[in-house]
Amino acid sequence: MSIATSKQDGILTIEFDRPERKNAITVAMYQLMADAIAQGERDPEVRVLLICGKPDMFTAGNDLEDFLGAPPPGLDSPVFAFMRTLSQASKPVVAAVAGPAVGIGTTMLLHCDMVYAADNALFSMPFAQLGVCPEFASSMVLPQIAGYQRAAELLMLGETFTAAQACQMGMVNKVVPGAELMPYARSKALALVALPPSSLRITKQLMKSAQSATVQKVIADEGRHFSAMLGAPEAKEAFTAFFQKRKPDFSRFD
């Protein structure tokens, strides 16, 4: 399997389930996630969405072979469908993160309402390292959460940071031992299930409505730049170096 879903006690759990490839996300997986979120939004029995991975891996980000073989053709592609459904979800979204969360594995968390991390969680957004640019409105939302300078460091250098650092900068609500992650995240989801659903929806709407249109515009703007940059020489050098397991050489570019 690639994306596993289950419904219990008012919680729809959406789980990355491709451990043999470090939960790397394919085009088909983006569509499955978009469909699962949309189904959860429509299902009156679902009060909360819970996104998780495995105990040692949230997701390695895009499956690069799949992604380069079928890059997003436009804003109607599965990856953008996933971005829209998650960023516009009206019901509460809780994320439970253990192990590495790479690229969109980190940026998707910026659109969740509550994020809980195991103490082994590691985050990174190596877009510049790959010759592309930020996505999922991270160029807008991350500076709001972490401050401009920290966001610049994370997005420009693309360095890995820990769960404790993510919590300190406001990206994560709480860090817990790995064995406690899913029970803790589920307890928070169950606490939300017990509350009046209309109150939660209106509260979330009020918090997000002021910039919801801007978020969608930034997602589209980033997407256009990202798609154009995929075919540029810098990205070709970065991806070639990745597959050849060598350090890229950007010295000839200006």
Task: Please name the residues in contact with 172: beta carbons below 8 A apart, sequence gap of 6 or more.
Answer: 97, 109, 115, 116, 117, 121, 163, 166
Give 19-23 contacts, CB < 8 A, sequence gap 24+.
Answer: 19/54, 19/57, 21/60, 21/63, 22/57, 22/59, 22/60, 22/100, 23/53, 23/54, 23/57, 23/58, 23/59, 23/60
Per-residue pLDDT of the chain (254 residues; tens, 9 = 90+): 699 999 999 999 999 999 999 999 999 999 999 999 999 999 999 999 999 999 999 999 999 999 888 888 778 899 999 999 999 999 999 999 999 999 999 999 999 999 999 999 999 999 999 999 999 999 999 999 999 999 999 999 999 999 999 999 999 999 999 999 999 999 999 999 999 999 999 999 999 999 999 999 999 999 999 999 999 999 999 999 999 999 999 999 98
Residue 183 lies inside a defined structural domain of this protein: no
Count of domains observed in the chain:
1
Domain that holds residue 28: 1-178+197-254
Residue 191 lies inside a defined structural domain of this protein: no
Residue 189 lies inside a defined structural domain of this protein: no
Q: What is the pLDDT of residue 76?
A: 85
Helices of type H across the chain: 27-42, 64-69, 78-87, 104-107, 138-146, 148-157, 163-168, 181-193, 197-208, 212-230, 233-244
Residue 42 lies inside a defined structural domain of this protein: yes
pTM over 0.85: yes
Q: What is the CATH number of the domain that holds 82?
A: 3.90.226.10
Residue 33 lies inside a defined structural domain of this protein: yes
pLDDT mean across residues, the chain: 97
Q: What is the pLDDT of residue 14?
A: 98
Residue 190 lies inside a defined structural domain of this protein: no
Residue 234 lies inside a defined structural domain of this protein: yes
Residue 187 lies inside a defined structural domain of this protein: no
